[in-house]
Structures are given as structure tokens and as C-alpha cells.
Amino acid sequence: MPYPTTGPATWFVTGASHGLGRELVQQLLDRGHRVAATTRSPERLTESLAGTDTSQLLVMPVDLANEKEVSSAVATAEERFGAIDVVVNNAGYGLLGAVEEVTDAEARELFDVQLFGAWNVLRAALPGMRARRSGHIINVSSILGLTAFPGWGLYCAAKYALEGLTGSLAGEVADFGIRVNLVEPGYMRTDFLRTGSLRLPVRTADGYEAVREMTDAHLAMPGTQLGDPARAATAIITVAESGSAPLHQLLGSDSYALATTRIESLTADIEAGRALATTTDITAAA
């Protein structure tokens, strides 16, 4: 089993100070679980939990791109609570700009958080799980890890990479009794599309009208998203507690619709290219 089905478990949650991460921490504490939460804004998290019993909460300011800081945080959590049962790699932010507009520094910074940060957490947490032959990894991706829109190239690239990493990981650790899942939310009514969580490139190029329209539409979206972060957090807990969710767990009717459309489009592409694909095989010797 991924973790004990009765009694409290220890969760390690990144990106915990706002949005989905903060809601997840709240619900876990309300259910009596132990939570090690990493964030760049510890004060914001603790202030938002006023009135909540936080005796089983460990808040740690961590730069996820710093492997030593991440390793130290995992070790501190294990020292405080014992074994880590569930890891939720949730930290991330968005950048909306054309591929040409994104600078090297912007690309590397986003990948540091959304891919290499998660990788640092995995490297630190997996040895303990592997030794105990139990545990659960939940990586928070996005519907943009399955499809793509103009202007979201960098964000999609990071989420696609996380999807590939997670798929490989699932096959690697299955024999150790460690479960692995991706959750792929659609648009949730959080502050993700507000300043700070959604960044714009420092430079722009002429002519990318589709990207400008996409940007304007997303900046006007807050308050209209279909997804409820509280229900999404509950769904993540269900993924962990049930132990039976598929590798790819969509969250939201919009995510489901977009994923279905993507599958149909990909299938059409594969069939359209089939004739040429089969011409590149080595011809059997006569």
C-alpha cells in the first residue's frame, strides 16, 4: 500500500503557501495528518492557517532549485515526523510568451522550479521510500502537460518534461511498492493567473497577435475558472488514499474535454503519417 490506510500519514508538500498547495495543507491538517510544507513564503502560509491546529505542521523555507536545501528539508521532515509517506510536487508558476520572446534566464528559472525542483525532491525522498518498500509520489502537472496553446511554450515544455519523468519513475519504482501518479488540473479558481504566479516575458516581439490575444484572455480569466481548488485538493487526497488512480489523473471537466480533443488530434496525426512512417524500416534481405 502507498501508506497506512488507517491513522495519520506524513505528507511532504511543495508550493504550499497559496492556491492548490495551501488548500491541500489545510485539508491534511484538518484530517489529522502530519505535513512538511515547503514554500518561499513561510509567513504567508502560517498567517493563512490562523485558527488551524498546526502542531503537526512543519513549514520550511526552501529554494527547490538548491539540491542541498531540498535534501536538508527532507531530512528535517524525517527527523521530525519519521518516514515520509506521500510526496506532492506542487510548486510552480506560469510564463505566457512566444517561444522567441522567452529569454534563456526565464527558461532556466522556470525549469529550475517545475522540473529540477521536483527532481531534487524525488532524489531526496526516494531512498527512504525504497528502503521501506512503500510510499507515494504525486506530481502536479497540468492539462498543458498533455496539450499546448500559443504562448504557453515554456510552461508546456516544463510540464511535458515532468510527464515524461513521472512515467519513467512509475516503472522504475513499482517493484519497491512505491506508487506514482500525475494529476493534471484544468483551470482552477486560484491566484495562478494573477501577478506573481503568471509572469510575462521581459521582452516582446512584433506580430505575435495570437499570443497577445491568449495573454489578454488569461489575464481576464480570474474568477471565471471552473475548477474548485478545495475539491481538487480533496481529489489529490483521494488519489493517495485509494491507491487505485490511473497514472494520469485529470482534474476538471475542462481538463477532460481538452485531453479528449488532444487524443483525437494526435490519433489523426498518427494515421495521416502512417504511410510515410512505414517507409523507413530496413527492408528484409531476400
Could you tell me the pLDDT band of residue 224, with boundaries at 50, 70 and 90? confident
Residues in contact with 30: Cβ distance below 8 Å, sequence separation at least 6, in sequence order: 52
Q: Which positions are annotated as active-site residues? A: 17, 141, 155, 159
- Of 90, 80, 92, 77, which Cα lies nearest the Cα of 125? 77
pTM for this predicted structure: 0.94
**pLDDT mean across residues, the chain:** 93
pLDDT per position as a tens digit, 264-284: 999 999 999 999 999 999 988
Could you tell me the pLDDT band of residue 226, with boundaries at 50, 70 and 90? confident
Terminal-residue alpha carbon distance, the chain:
54
Q: What is the pLDDT of residue 181?
A: 98
What single DSSP character describes residue 49?
Answer: T
Residues in contact with 24: Cβ distance below 8 Å, sequence separation at least 6, in sequence order: 13, 16, 88, 90, 233, 236, 237
pLDDT at 191 over 80: no
- Domains annotated for the chain, with CATH where assigned, are 10-255 (3.40.50.720)
Q: d(Cα 232, Cα 82) in Å, to the nearest integer?
A: 27
Q: What is the pLDDT of residue 126?
A: 98
